């Protein structure tokens, strides 16, 4: 339970349950949602539901060891990814070190193993001067039933101790809930959510009730 509004908490999730337990607890509503997802995907043709993370670089040169990472910045969505491209990645200080490949009803990544900048990929970059600083530019759609896989495989590749994660995402001003008219708001504007473990000064005001974060940024 959150100790204050704006704190990020881990909610109970069934996403990581094994098949036997999931089947036992599945409700009629769950089955209907699953059927609708399958229908959408059948219309797009047959493709794997797996999320694959490919790294071209591993700390220490050993693929079995977790990445040594002190700061991990994730930009989710086209606007956030474009912000990284314009203000952070537009230099020779970064190099591509990995990619996430997935297929769903809105995104079909190439079957190639080459790591090239493209809107269909989630790309990982590392800071050349400090290899412990990583960026992820995720401009492709990650389906609801792929989000747990995405998190499990991406963060499963990294050491957790001392890791600070920053998520950048955007939403339409029309979705922002406030007592004042959205027409008078200076746009764009920045709000933040944080965990209780984050003790550093926050660079902008915290997000007010009853606004929430959804989809992969929330996960």
The tens digit of pLDDT for each residue in 4-55 reads: 555 666 665 555 445 555 455 778 887 787 777 666 655 555 455 678 888 8
Check: CB of residue 143 under 8 Å from CB of residue 105.
Answer: yes
E strand or H helix that includes residue 55? strand 52-55
Residues 92 and 67: their CA atoms lie apart, in Å, by: 22
pLDDT tier for residue 119 given thresholds of 50, 70 and 90: very low
- Nearest partner of 155 among 58, 72, 89, judged by Cα: 72
Tally helices (H) and strands (E) across the chain.
Answer: 5, 6
């Amino acid at each position: 339970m959150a100790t204050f509004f704006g704190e990020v908490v881990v909610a109970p999730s069934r996403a990581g349950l094994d098949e036997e337990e999931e089947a036992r607890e599945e409700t009629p509503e769950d089955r209907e949602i699953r059927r609708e997802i399958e229908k959408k995907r059948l219309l797009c043709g047959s493709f794997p539901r797996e999320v694959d993370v490919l790294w071209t670089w591993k700390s220490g040169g050993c693929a079995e060891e977790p990445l040594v990472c002190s700061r991990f910045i994730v930009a989710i969505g086209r606007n956030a990814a474009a912000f990284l491209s314009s203000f952070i990645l537009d230099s020779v200080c970064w190099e591509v070190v990995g990619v996430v490949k997935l297929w769903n009803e809105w995104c079909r990544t190439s079957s190639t193993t080459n790591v090239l900048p493209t809107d269909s990929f989630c790309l990982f970059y590392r800071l050349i001067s400090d290899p412990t600083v990583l960026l992820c530019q995720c401009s492709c759609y990650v389906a609801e039933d792929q989000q747990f896989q995405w998190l499990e495989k991406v963060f499963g590749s990294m050491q957790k101790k001392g890791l600070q994660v920053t998520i950048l995402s955007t939403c339409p001003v029309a979705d922002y809930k406030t007592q004042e008219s959205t027409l008078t708001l200076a746009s764009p504007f920045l709000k933040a959510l944080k965990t209780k473990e984050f003790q550093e000064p926050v660079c902008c005001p915290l997000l007010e009730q009853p606004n929430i974060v959804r989809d992969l940024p929330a996960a």
